[in-house]
Structure 1
Amino acid sequence: MSAARGVKRREVSRKRKADKKKVAWSPLPNSSQISFLLTGQKEFLVKEVLYHGGRGFGKSECLIVAYLQHVGKGYGARWTGVILRREIKSLKDLISKSYRIIGAAFPGATFNKTHRCWTFPGGEKLYFDFCKTESDYEQKHHGNEYQFIGFDELSTWESDAVYSLMKTCLRTRRNEDDEDIEDDEDELEEVYDPDAPPLQVRATTNPYGRGKGWVKDYFIDRAPVGEIVYRRGRPHLMHIKGSVYENIRIIKSYIEELECEPDPVKKAAYLYGDWNSIDIAAIFGYHWSEHTVIDPFEIPSCWPVHRSYDDGSDSPFAMLWTAEADGTEVALKDGTKFRPPAGSIIVVAEDYGTEEKNGKQVRRNKGLNMSARPIARRLLKREAGLQEGLLRNCKILPGPADTSTHTGKNIDKGTYPTVFKEMKAEGLKFIDAYKANGSREMSAGIMIERLDATKKQDMTRPHIYFFNTCKYSVKFMPELNRHPDKAGEVAKGPDDHLWDALAYRLTMKKKSKTTGVNPF
């Protein structure tokens, strides 16, 4: 009897193992994975979907399966997909996951290592590739035709440039001989071809990284989780949030490790997928705090106020008005007293030259293409408004502007109308910014010192504050990235213009006989 029971147990064990082999991958029960996959089905199709959250709930695997769910449906070569990472070195893990899933689910599929491409028995193809820059797109993807475009870890792209360019490749053919139907015409595609494959762009990400800001703008801030944004009456965009707590297959110790994370910012991002947490990977992220942004108050007349400016046309121009505390106590609206250490900088107001709609930026890093004199008139008008309000008792002093405003000063024997000259002619004056070697590292170091003092409320060191009405400064400053090769500098990137204006102010030369920069 015992021998018979042993044989039976072995048979049951073999059967269980065989059953497991039959299932290459399955979504977590009652999870966000199911919702994400449903948005790729024709009857529920949403063109662009972001799948986001913290760590540990299978985003990357689900992205691969989002493509695979239409393999073998008869589309053949008309179902061609590409899944992208920003860096080639990041593809290794993604391809390994594809082997585990595709190798089991489609035993007839073959993988070409040179082209990083799976080819399926029905003719479908899935490529794995990297696309770091617009140049990569031009060299490798421009003119290609994909019906599925996936981005893994979307926030690793610092801007939306590659994402926007790749979307132009989202198209299909009505049949093998017909011309392409371009992306902006695909709204009409069902009229021409009811059997066309479901064109879709899919992305996954965590709420941190170099591109967190633009991803948040494009997906998170446009609608609540799970709510569809329509275009031309059709489902166009949405975002779906997942959680590690959905993952019944993950070991408990992994969740416990995330729950025990001592840094509240890291915990908010890694465990809860909180988009409002400060990005700790950013150069100022760790030092930014709840003390940094304050309600506006009227600036005392004894606090010097300076304007600082970074020029821009195709990209935004940026003007800041900053006050420097001298130790005088001020009364806030709620009656509390506020006395920052002498030398503290308060960013009172901003003017950011970017296109807006309903009070929001239309596109990141896009300027107004204004010339110097119209910009000067706009800034002076803004300044006049400030002197009727928060700066009513203050004289506004010429502060630093980027030395690029002098570009062309030697052309035509010095008669060329430089930005500096044109603005001065309108009555807007500046002094030259300090831009010697090391100034970028110096300005970042000063900013970190001030933010740290503000965070710790250390009254022995100067602080830095931003009025909450400076919406773009408050939005962009915590997102600024660290230079990849110079850890002490801010990396050049989209919407860094307000930082440049502030950096000029932080390293502004004193008007005294001292030749060095101020140590604030």
Structure 2
Amino acid sequence: MTQTVVIPYKPQPRQQVYHQTNDIDELLYGGAAGGGKSEATIWDALKYAMQYKGSRQIIFRRTFPDLQRSIIARTIVAFPKELGKYNQSKHEWVFVNGSVIELAYFDSDMHKANYAGAEYDVIRWEEVTHFEEGWYTFMLSRLRGSTPYPRYIKSTTNPGSVGHAWVKKRFIDIGEWEKVHHIHETNDEGELLYHPDTGEPIISRRIFIPAKVQDNPALLEADPNYIVRLMQLSEQERKQLLDGDWDTFAGQYFSEFSRSLHVVEPFDIPKTWKRFRALDEGYTDPFICLWIALAPDGTAYLYRELAKTKLLTSEQVGLVRLNSPVTEEYEYNVADTSFWNQSKTEKITPAEIFAQKGVSLIQAKKERVNGWKRLREWLHPYDAIDHVTGNVYKATKLKIFSTCIKAIEAIPSMVHDDKKVEDVAAHPLDHIPDALRYWCMSRATDTKATEAWSADPDQLSDRRRDFESDDDEDEPFKVQGFW
């Protein structure tokens, strides 16, 4: 006699979409708090385990305490014991049909070694923005096996945390939400990838399925005040957790960054403007060179960028020179102090190699907190007066050409360090902000300009009156019950 096992789960409408979307390579679900992300994950995993005998899946959280609270504890309570057993020492579910679901955490590059020979049919990341992109892309190579089962990655998250930028770029910015997009993959240098045998483009099918607390009526029925508590959060946290806003998030370091304010279209920079270069050393990490021009009114323009990995020092200086027109002259080139580290095998520093090739460097001041404060000063919006019309508008002392796409991605991606909140947390994209910090610390604090560009309303009113009275004044601001 066949035993019937009832699955105690009824998916909400958005979870249903998540469960039914399987003809993909990568899926992201969520975007706000209360969308039923973890419930969707565990029941989707159980359904797959029962549907495909002998299959293997893994569910990741960033830390073991998070894994214990949100996944281990919930599956022990929720999964029918007739279907499988939880192995506490291995942190995995083994089911009656031979399928396995591993529950794991991943919080270091060292954890890659744990999965060097692993094979999975489905990989699931809970709160994927808590992970680094390199960990995610490494596990793509573990998505393999000899069975003809569908293989994919399904992730859930809220906006924010250290992986916000790469997740946003990979899923949010690719186009219309809730639609499968066919993405031609690229390498680290942005070059399109093609199959080595067939020459066909390497394509990934990706989709973002948004869900908010309003899409989870079961939660709101059980706890009608939950949405009220979300509304009482700070503006930034409310936008992130209630609205699922991907343009701002809690923990963001340079929250003042705005594309509309800081990004400008390229223009021909006058020859009379002072120019500078800022460099950050790297090989596995990218080597960075930034070109910055300073206008007479004190506004700085990041007008060119270079970010490339696996370059020898001679190749670095060669690319700097190649990207620096002979018509440009530079006041100085400020660089990370690591350029002065002498090789163990060669008695010469990178700085000396640069100098031999005609690019003399000066050492950067490496104060982190002060440096970030200085960079924030350059990014901070202030009220200014148009000296032609007399209208008040928002301005900033640092502008970025729209062609500097890596800088535009990196700056708003920086997050506060949990242990030292005034500092920026280590981040895969922090190399360009580091170089900008070096340049900012090389400049004297322009208190006179700051005073002239005052945000004081009374002073602005006075200036408008002055303008109106003097036209010549020039003022510089996701068995039975499976759905």
1:254 and 2:226 matched = yes
Find the aligned partners of 1:346 and 1:235 in 2 and give their Cα distance.
39
Quote the offset at 1:33 in angstroms: 1.7
Corresponding residue number in structure 2 for 1:143: 117
Corresponding residue number in structure 1 for 2:420: 486
Tell me, yes or no, if the aligned pair for 2:129 and 2:164 is still in contact at 8 Å: yes
Cα 1:202/1:386, change in 2 over 3 Å: farther
Quote the offset at 1:283 in angstroms: 1.9
Please give the per-residue CA displacement for 1:350-388, whole angstroms capped at 9, x wherever unaligned.
32223xxxxxxxxxxxx2x3333443343334332884x
Find the aligned partners of 1:509 and 1:220 in 2 and give their Cα distance.
37
Corresponding residue number in structure 2 for 1:59: 37
Find the aligned partners of 1:130 and 1:446 in 2 and give their Cα distance.
37
Counterpart mapping for 1:487-502 below 5 A: 487-502=421-436
Find the aligned partners of 2:265 and 2:396 in 1 and give their Cα distance.
19
2:406 aligned partner, one-letter code: Y
1:352 and 2:328 matched = no
Tell me, yes or no, if the aligned pair for 2:24 and 2:207 is still in contact at 8 Å: yes
Corresponding residue number in structure 1 for 2:17: 35
Quote the offset at 1:24 in angstroms: 0.8
1:80 and 2:71 matched = no
1:440 and 2:368 matched = yes
Q: How many residues align?
A: 411
Corresponding residue number in structure 2 for 1:470: 404
1:271 and 2:255 matched = no
| 2:359 maps to which of 428, 435, 438 | 428
Tell me, yes or no, if the aligned pair for 2:281 and 2:288 is still in contact at 8 Å: yes
Please give the per-residue CA displacement for 1:397-442, whole angstroms capped at 9, x wherever unaligned.
1131122222327976x5x3x332333233222212123xxx1121
Corresponding residue number in structure 2 for 1:25: 9
Partner-residue secondary structure (3-state), 2:301:
strand
Find the aligned partners of 1:218 and 1:489 in 2 and give their Cα distance.
27
Please give the per-residue CA displacement for 1:168-219, whole angstroms capped at 9, x wherever unaligned.
3323345xxxxxxxxxxxxxxxxxxxxx332222111112110111112223
2:431 aligned partner, one-letter code: H
Quote the offset at 1:455 in angstroms: 5.1
Cα 1:108/1:406, change in 2 over 3 Å: closer
Find the aligned partners of 1:235 and 1:370 in 2 and give their Cα distance.
29
Unmatched segments (≥5 aa) in structure 2: 185-199, 386-392, 445-483
Quote the offset at 1:499 in angstroms: 1.2
Cα 1:82/1:409, change in 2 over 3 Å: closer
Corresponding residue number in structure 1 for 2:192: none
Find the aligned partners of 2:345 and 2:427 in 1 and give their Cα distance.
30
2:95 aligned partner, one-letter code: F
User: Looking at CA atoms only, which structure, 1 or 2, has the larger radius of gyration?
Assistant: 1
Quote the offset at 1:457 in angstroms: 6.1
Corresponding residue number in structure 2 for 1:89: 65
Quote the offset at 1:462 in angstroms: 8.8
Tell me, yes or no, if the aligned pair for 2:38 and 2:70 is still in contact at 8 Å: no
Tell me, yes or no, if the aligned pair for 1:287 and 1:455 is still in contact at 8 Å: no
Find the aligned partners of 2:61 and 2:304 in 1 and give their Cα distance.
36
1:503 and 2:402 matched = no
RMSD over aligned CA atoms reads 3.2
Corresponding residue number in structure 1 for 2:456: none
Quote the offset at 1:501 in angstroms: 1.2
Cα 1:236/1:292, change in 2 over 3 Å: closer
Quote the offset at 1:443 in angstroms: 0.3
Find the aligned partners of 2:225 and 2:251 in 1 and give their Cα distance.
25
Quote the offset at 1:67 in angstroms: 1.2
Quote the offset at 1:151 in angstroms: 0.6
Corresponding residue number in structure 2 for 1:451: 379
2:56 aligned partner, one-letter code: T
Tell me, yes or no, if the aligned pair for 2:262 and 2:396 is still in contact at 8 Å: no
Tell me, yes or no, if the aligned pair for 1:316 and 1:352 is still in contact at 8 Å: no
| 1:287 maps to which of 250, 256, 269 | 256
Tell me, yes or no, if the aligned pair for 1:137 and 1:162 is still in contact at 8 Å: yes
Find the aligned partners of 1:171 and 1:376 in 2 and give their Cα distance.
42
1:133 and 2:105 matched = no
Question: Sequence identity of aligned pairs in percent?
Answer: 24
Partner-residue secondary structure (3-state), 2:252:
coil
Relative to the length of structure 1, the TM-score reads 0.70
| 2:90 maps to which of 83, 96, 115 | 115
1:88 aligned partner, one-letter code: F
Cα 1:429/1:27, change in 2 over 3 Å: same
Quote the offset at 1:127 in angstroms: 2.0
Tell me, yes or no, if the aligned pair for 2:32 and 2:213 is still in contact at 8 Å: yes
Find the aligned partners of 2:20 and 2:327 in 1 and give their Cα distance.
52
Point out the more displaced range, 295-304 or 63-72.
Answer: 295-304
Tell me, yes or no, if the aligned pair for 2:293 and 2:303 is still in contact at 8 Å: no
Partner-residue secondary structure (3-state), 1:146:
coil
1:314 aligned partner, one-letter code: T
Counterpart mapping for 1:255-404 below 5 A: 255-259=227-231, 263=235, 265-275=236-246, 277-284=247-254, 286-289=255-258, 290-296=260-266, 303-324=273-294, 328=297, 344=298, 346-354=300-308, 367=309, 369-384=310-325, 387=328, 395-404=329-338
Cα 1:323/1:123, change in 2 over 3 Å: same
